[in-house]
A and B are shown apart, each in its own frame.
Chain A
Amino acid sequence: MTTVDYVLRLGDDALITAQRLGAWYAAGPEMEEDVALANIALDQLGAARLLLTYAGEREGAGRDEDALAYQRDAAAFRNCRLVEQPEPDFAAVIAKLLLLSAFQLPLYEALAAGADERLAAIGGKARKESAYHLDHSTLWTLRLGDGTDESHERMQAAIDALWPFVDGLFSGEGGPVAPAAIRPAWTSTVEDVLKRATLSVPAPVAEPAGERPHLVELLAEMQELHRAHPGARW
């Protein structure tokens, strides 16, 4: 039996990712990349809407996708901490997308064949999009990792900075596919890409404990309009 928290976790991962990527619109290294990041943000938002709608139905308390996205505080968000980390440069955007899509693709594929019919439909749809995200982040990781001294250095720094949050991808349970079951596939994908990009695979690091200031800040911006004008429409 799928739990509300399990669905929220996946939906929140996608929602926070969409919000972070949206901030890069018109700030990418070239116009084609702005369009690519906006497209990927839209894919993530689309998956988030389906997942949050489903989470709200499972909860049965009358909360729809908007209520869940705009009316929860940081403490109620179930996303892994990887997705809320700041992106100080483009290398960080790519590193995060690589680590995330290498997880989302096999997870959605497994869900598509899983016992929860609703998650199977969502996974069957989203996996096609994830394949593009993984492909895109892989190409950029190769280009930056195996590029100039500076691009290599920045790409490695981005991977190193995100590595403490890798374990969080695989935590949680309560659904037809345990995130932990995805780890072998993820490891083989990510290690292969990093190697080909002449980047090193960092040693395991424990996730730092404590507050989540980045998430609080992100939500303050994302929820501001809705909190000031509940139910506002275009």
Chain B
Amino acid sequence: MTPREAVAAVVDPELRVVTIDELGILRDVETDEHGHVTVTITPTYTGCPAMDVIRADIGAALRAAGHGDHEVRTIFAPAWTTDWISAGGRDKLAAAGVAPPGPSGGPVALSIGVRCTHCGSPDTEQLSRFGSTACKALWRCRACGEPFDAMKAY
């Protein structure tokens, strides 16, 4: 397995169903002529407590693939945006009950377009813009009455 393949398969420790590659957290994997691997990642939110786990998981994945000589760099610019989540990642999030984000561009959540992850109804409302993790907001479906998580456009 190439370093890139090994790292790209690491799952996000909070969202579980998507990889760090699909989320857009993984920015670069480079291997120099001595086999030294440099992985570059960027956090979703500055205070994201999952970053330490992600760094450890990247190290474990590289060691398991036989690339022990590596380092993980964290960069902050350009800043991560939910626009970097891949189409495949969005589908996986939706299938796991997390409504994928709309286009970013401001803190004002788009109240249109968030569909209930249980019944698919567009008749939903935001209960709180802060959810169980920094990247999610809490929503409720007016049609079936169930609450669900939605990723904030960011």
Contact = CB atoms under 8 A, between A and B. Distances in A.
Given A42-B45, A47-B46, A132 B129 contact: yes
A221 interface: no
Contact of A136 (B45, B49, B129): B129
A122 B28 CA distance: 20
Interface residues of A, number: 28
Which of B76, B80, B131 has its CB near the most chain A CB atoms (within 10 A)?
B76
B77 interface: yes
Contact of B46 (A32, A33, A38, A125): A125
A86 B132 CA distance: 27
A43 B134 contact: yes
A135 B108 contact: yes
Which of B47, B49, B132 has its CB near the most chain A CB atoms (within 10 A)?
B47
Nearest to B80: A125
A152 B117 CA distance: 38
Q: Binding site of A, secondary structure by majority: helix, strand, loop or mixed?
A: helix
A118 to B, nearest CB: 9
Nearest to B127: A32
Given A32-B130, A35-B131, A46 B77 contact: no
Which of A32, A39, A121, A131 has its CB near the most chain B CB atoms (within 10 A)?
A39
Q: How large is the interface on B (under 10, 10 to 19, 20 to 34, 35 or more residues)?
A: 20 to 34
Nearest to A38: B130
A44 interface: yes
Nearest to A133: B107
Interface in A100-135: 120-122, 124-126, 128-129, 131-132, 134-135
Nearest to A35: B130
Contact of B129 (A36, A44, A49, A124): A36
Contact of A43 (B46, B75, B138, B152): B46
A121 B74 CA distance: 12
A55 interface: no
Contacts of B132: 35
A136 to B, nearest CB: 7
B48 interface: yes
B82 to A, nearest CB: 10
B57 to A, nearest CB: 17
B88 interface: no
A50 interface: yes
Contacts of A135: 107-108, 129
B47 A43 contact: yes
11 contacts: A35-B138, A36-B128, A36-B129, A42-B47, A43-B134, A44-B47, A120-B77, A125-B76, A128-B107, A132-B129, A135-B107
Given A35-B128, A126-B46, 6 more contacts: A32-B138, A36-B129, A49-B46, A121-B76, A122-B46, A125-B43
